[in-house]
Structure formats: C-alpha cells, structure tokens
C-alpha cells in the first residue's frame, strides 16, 4: 500500500508512535510517505520505502498567524496526487483530521478517492479538543474520518463522552519493539555507575514537562524515597515546566541526586539502567513511555488516570495510586526497592505485559484496517 502519515514530528508520544508505525510498515514492504513540518525525531535512518515531505509554510507581512493548515492540506494534495497514495493516516486530531478532510475533498474534484484514518492520541480529545474554540471542527472532522482509532479503551470512552461521535471508534493499542528496548544493564554498567556511583537505585521519569505530567510529584516522590533508599533521579525530556522543576530541586536541596538529561533519542539506553519508572500524570490516554520502560524490565509507579490501568497492572507490573497521592506512590516505590524478590517479580511482570503490546501484534491490526477502509472506498466508487 502507499500510505501517507501525518503527525507531529516532535518528541511527543503521538509522533513517536506514528513514526514507529511508518517504519514498521515500510519494513513490511509498504510505501510510506511522512508529511510533517519537520523531520520526525525517530525518523533517523535511510529506508528505501520511506519518503519524507516537508510542509513549507510561506509567511507574508499580512499574516500574524501563517496559515499552516492550508499549507498542510496543499502538501497532502500534492503527495496524494503525485505519489498515488492509497490512503492517509493522521495522528492527533487537531488539526490533522480537518486538513485531511479538506485534502480529500480537493482530490475528489479531480476524480481521486482517498480515504483517511484518524488516530486519537490523548489531549486532542481530553484537553485541547474539548476547548470550545476547537470542538466543532474536531467533532466534524472525526465524524468525517473513514475510520477512527483510539489508543486505549479509556480514550475511546472519553471521546464518546465529550463529542457527538456517530461512528465506531476502534481501539488499537500503542505498541513497543521489545527487541529494541531489551534490557542491556550489564553492557551499560559504565553509564549506570556514572549516574549512581555508589550503587544507588535509579528512578526515571521521561516526559515533555507539561502540567498534565505532574513532574513536581515525581520530585516529591523521589524526596520521600531517598529518605529511605539511597537513590538517584533521572529526568529525561524538556518542556515548559522544566525551569520550575529545576528551581524546585534547588529549593529542596536535591540537586546532587537529580540529573536532568534533556531530550534523548536513545531512550532504550536510559531505560536499561533504571530501576523504577515514575509517571504520576493527571491524565494519560495510554502512557507510551511507561510501556517502553516495561519492555526494558522497569516496573512502573504511576497514577491510575485515564488508560494507565490498561497498561500498568497494579501489583504485577508496578503500582497505581490516585492522582496526586504522593505518599502512596512513594510507599509503593519504597516497598519495591527494599524487596529484591518483589522487584525481580515485577520486572518479569513488566516484560510480560510489554510483550502483549509487541509491535508484531499491533501492526497487522492497522494493516487490516487499511485494507478494510480501502475496500470500502473502492466499493463506493463502483456504486
């Protein structure tokens, strides 16, 4: 198939997932065309079946806000027509679903029928999409999608609760390449020793440092854990809350034990040296970073928000606590770190759970959906 993938190219989970999906589809022989305003972060190697089309957004003195959506739709039209795309798969509804709808209308005037699939990822529904400013366009463009998928049951339910959706939303879970994230602790011992030279335990948090991630809770949990278990905290990623978190660490006198490493591409290396992954978010539709940690045998201490209970199984792969319950999260972390037997069992449980979301189990679900959508489009042309 010739598939156009539209996503945010940044470090966010939706872009990561979309890029890994495109790479996996290309490995299976499909022609994959990424249409984004910047090279996606995980699209970092040449592949004969992968094409990258950058969206250029010309500016003009009249524009306070350059019309990105028009540029994106026009690029989609160009790629559909010149690369003979069979379908478009857009990730994150805003603005990708409405731009795909427009592109579909434009090419239909030229006799081309190109269906589009919208994958809902999280805040496109639960935060930004709900905003009255965007909601009418989001509702319309989701309903106009030829197929809709959500990355968890929770997100599917949230979508039905928040919008008037007339179509079925299929749940296709996020996935992980467990081979890539296979734990390589002994190989990376030098790295571990550099972070925790006296054999301390390592707690890890990876995010884009936005409010929804509740990074201050990570630091508070760490402070409590550190009082009982010699440990270090590794903070990976960057975003708007980072300066405040750095200030908080200074105020709490924790700087010596907390390492901010910024954005990292080799997440598998970082995951490999961690003992616990901490994700106290206000909401996660899924929690892809937690799944990647589990694939590296790292148990997860998380909130029970959104789709997290579908990924992190309480007592098997880690522990769940109510949002904001720092004491419970710290107690759970201490319980795990002080009990090597329990930690080993949870590491095993985490890996087993990650296998359920193995890339090889999930990609065929997308391929089947593509076939179905293309067949439906062909039938509608024949009628």
Q: Name the residue nearer to ligand GMT (CB basis): 279 or 336.
A: 279
CB of 120 to ligand GMT, least distance (A): 9
User: Strands, DSSP E only, in the chain?
Assistant: 2-6, 31-36, 50-54, 87-91, 116-120, 147-150, 169-171, 201-206, 231-236, 258-262, 276-279, 300-303, 318-321
- Selection from 277, 207, 199 nearest residue 236 by Cα: 207
What residues are paired with 54 via a beta bridge? 36
SS3 163: coil
CB of 99 to ligand GMT, least distance (A): 17
DSSP 6: E
Q: Name the residue nearer to ligand GMT (CB basis): 4 or 12.
A: 12
CB of 290 to ligand GMT, least distance (A): 8
**Is the Cβ–Cβ distance between 52 and 18 less than 8 Å?**
no
CB of 134 to ligand GMT, least distance (A): 13
Take residue 365 and report the two structure tokens written for it: 């679900």
Take residue 374 and report the two structure tokens written for it: 């293309």
**Is the Cβ–Cβ distance between 318 and 256 less than 8 Å?**
no
CB of 170 to ligand GMT, least distance (A): 14
Q: Name the residue nearer to ligand GMT (CB basis): 300 or 334.
A: 300
**Is the Cβ–Cβ distance between 311 and 291 less than 8 Å?**
yes
- Cβ-in-10-Å burial (0-12, 13-18, 19+) of 120 comes to buried
Q: What span, in angstroms and rounded, lies between the C-alpha atoms of 39 and 30?
A: 20
**Is the Cβ–Cβ distance between 215 and 205 less than 8 Å?**
yes
Q: Give the interface with ligand GMT as residue ranges (CB under 6 A).
A: 8, 12-15, 17, 121-124, 151, 174, 212, 283-288
User: Which parts of 28-109 fold into alpha helices (H)?
Assistant: 68-83, 93-108
CB of 252 to ligand GMT, least distance (A): 26
Q: Name the residue nearer to ligand GMT (CB basis): 223 or 317.
A: 317
Q: What span, in angstroms and rounded, lies between the C-alpha atoms of 370 and 86?
A: 9
- Selection from 135, 65, 133, 141 nearest residue 102 by Cα: 141
Which residue number is nearest to ligand GMT in terms of Cβ?
122
CB of 294 to ligand GMT, least distance (A): 13
Q: Name the residue nearer to ligand GMT (CB basis): 13 or 349.
A: 13
The gap from C-alpha 151 to its chain's centroid, in whole angstroms, comes to 9
Q: Name the residue nearer to ligand GMT (CB basis): 217 or 284.
A: 284
H/E stretch holding 335: helix 326-337
Q: Name the residue nearer to ligand GMT (CB basis): 72 or 337.
A: 72
Distance of CA 283 to CAs 33, 272, 303, Å? 31, 25, 8
CB of 151 to ligand GMT, least distance (A): 4
Q: Name the residue nearer to ligand GMT (CB basis): 343 or 363.
A: 363
Q: Name the residue nearer to ligand GMT (CB basis): 13 or 107.
A: 13
CB of 75 to ligand GMT, least distance (A): 20
Q: What span, in angstroms and rounded, lies between the C-alpha atoms of 334 and 280?
A: 16
**Is the Cβ–Cβ distance between 4 and 33 less than 8 Å?**
yes
CB of 105 to ligand GMT, least distance (A): 26
Q: Name the residue nearer to ligand GMT (CB basis): 83 or 355.
A: 355
């Amino acid at each position: 198939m010739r598939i156009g993938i539209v996503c945010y190219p940044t470090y966010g989970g939706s872009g990561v997932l979309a890029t890994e999906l495109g790479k996996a589809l290309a490995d299976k022989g499909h022609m994959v065309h990424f249409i984004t305003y910047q090279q996606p972060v995980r699209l970092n190697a040449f592949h004969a079946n992968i094409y990258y089309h950058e969206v250029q957004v010309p500016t003009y003195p009249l524009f306070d806000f350059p019309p990105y959506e028009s540029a994106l739709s026009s690029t989609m039209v160009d790629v559909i027509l010149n690369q003979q795309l069979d379908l478009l798969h857009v990730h994150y509804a805003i603005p990708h679903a409405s731009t795909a709808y427009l592109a579909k209308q434009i090419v239909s005037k030229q006799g081309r029928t190109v269906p589009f699939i919208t994958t809902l990822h999280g805040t496109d529904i639960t935060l930004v999409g709900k905003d009255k400013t965007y909601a009418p366009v989001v509702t319309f463009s989701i309903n106009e999608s030829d197929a809709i998928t959500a990355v968890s049951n929770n997100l599917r339910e949230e979508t039905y609760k928040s919008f008037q959706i007339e179509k079925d939303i299929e749940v296709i879970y996020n996935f992980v390449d467990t081979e890539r994230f296979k734990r390589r602790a002994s190989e990376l011992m030098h790295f571990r020793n550099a972070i925790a030279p006296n054999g301390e335990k390592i707690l890890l948090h990876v995010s884009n440092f936005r409010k929804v991630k509740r990074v201050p809770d990570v630091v508070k949990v760490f402070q409590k854990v550190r009082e009982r278990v010699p440990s270090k905290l590794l903070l990976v990623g960057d975003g708007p809350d980072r300066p405040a978190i750095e200030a908080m660490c200074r105020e709490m006198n924790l700087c010596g034990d907390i390492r901010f490493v910024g954005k990292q591409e080799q997440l598998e290396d970082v995951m490999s040296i961690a003992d616990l992954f901490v994700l106290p978010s206000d909401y996660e539709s899924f929690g892809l970073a937690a799944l990647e940690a589990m694939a590296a045998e790292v148990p997860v201490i998380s909130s029970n928000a959104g789709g997290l209970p579908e990924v992190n199984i309480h007592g098997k792969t880690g522990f769940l606590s109510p949002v904001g319950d720092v004491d419970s999260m710290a107690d759970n972390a201490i319980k795990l770190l002080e009990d090597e037997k329990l930690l080993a069992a949870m590491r095993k449980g985490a890996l087993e759970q990650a296998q359920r979301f193995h890339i090889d189990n999930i990609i065929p679900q997308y391929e089947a959906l593509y076939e179905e959508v293309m067949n439906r489009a062909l039938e509608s042309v024949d009628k």
